[in-house]
Structure 1
């Protein structure tokens, strides 16, 4: 008795494709489970924040990056992280005159592949996960920032634009009672 062997011609699944598929399912489930779109937006940002806290260690270990010298250096390193974790490299643009605010412009956003937002969810900030991840990662390296979506391809804009604003440098905190 002989066994017939079958060869499967499977395409290699990219990490970003896996993220796209699972992220879409996660957001769909959150929409079903939560009362308002605003609750979903907050939860996506919180989830991203928690991911950013953990991703920064991996990023620093893989790149051997040292402390950022200024906000421009920080923007360059975040740009590298986009390439590492999402497979896209955004443009850094729209610096404020004070140099404390800039934007990431994504021509393509792997999180939004194959996604359409229905009219009743027009207030959904589908990519809020990215904003939270930026905030969480930078907080772990003692930078407090705000991050928000300015333009969204899912809402008809040509690009996805994520704005980052430096708030302050955080001091290294020692636990109470330890000197």
Structure 2
């Protein structure tokens, strides 16, 4: 299954006609972050704004992604991680982060009712990490000391994209950077955690 997803991602990237020059993309994004810093003068708020922008992008990208990939509902959150990394990131950014799956939470003890039911709801608390060997957003970037001290996550837009896209397919998740080579860490890692499965809204009955 993992190899199959990798092939789908590569095919989608090759067939995408509207590829953007990587250098131009990186410079444009960098200019956006600089403008946000100037506007808000608070790195925590900049992180929030980048996440919000990414969320809005993710809610729009998912329709195109599903239509072109032909991928249906995932069986579990582990498969979600494989699709996000090998198909999502590959098809849009031409990168394939490594996926590390966390050990799922233990089952409830005898006599204890589970918090939720259903195939995806039972995965609440499951998580995976995306480890990036390369990050096209961060090319040519060196963060100043005040940004490091202020807690800036330069590529936080990616977390928003993941949140927005998965919410559109009824999965509420958290997505956050836990390390970044721009901040002096050994790796760049995003951790995605399942909160709950969102029931599809039932249309109101006619009066």
Q: Give the structure-1-normalised TM-score.
A: 0.87
Unaligned runs of 5+ in 2: 1-18, 106-122
Q: CA deviation at 1:178?
A: 5.3
Q: CA deviation at 1:129?
A: 0.4
Q: Give the structure-2-normalised TM-score.
A: 0.76
**CA-to-aligned-CA distance 1:85-136 (integer Å, 9 cap, x gap):** 1111000014134270110000111111100110111111111100010000
Q: Distance in 1 between matches of 2:46 and 2:203?
A: 33
Q: 2:134 aligns with which of 103, 108, 111?
A: 108
Q: CA deviation at 1:16?
A: 3.5
Q: 2:179 aligns with which of 145, 151, 154?
A: 151
- Within 5 Å, which residues of 2 pair with 1:45-60? 45-60=51-66
Q: Distance in 1 between matches of 2:174 and 2:132?
A: 18
- Greater CA drift, 14-23 or 121-130: 14-23
Q: CA deviation at 1:35?
A: 3.0
Q: 1:92 aligns with which of 87, 94, 99?
A: 99
In structure 2, what is the equivalent of residue 32 of structure 1? 38
2:193 is paired with a residue whose SS is strand
CA shift in 2, pair 1:39/1:178, >3 Å: farther
Q: Distance in 2 between matches of 1:17 and 1:29?
A: 18
Q: Distance in 1 between matches of 2:142 and 2:33?
A: 12
Is the contact made by 2:99 and 2:131 (CA closer than 8 Å) also made in structure 1? yes
2:22 is paired with a residue whose SS is helix
CA shift in 2, pair 1:25/1:40, >3 Å: same
Is the contact made by 2:78 and 2:101 (CA closer than 8 Å) also made in structure 1? no
When the two chains are superposed, the root-mean-square deviation of aligned CA atoms in Å is 1.7
Unaligned runs of 5+ in 1: 1-12
**Runs of 4 or more above 6 Å deviation:** none
**CA-to-aligned-CA distance 1:24-70 (integer Å, 9 cap, x gap):** 01001111111311111100000000000011111111111111111
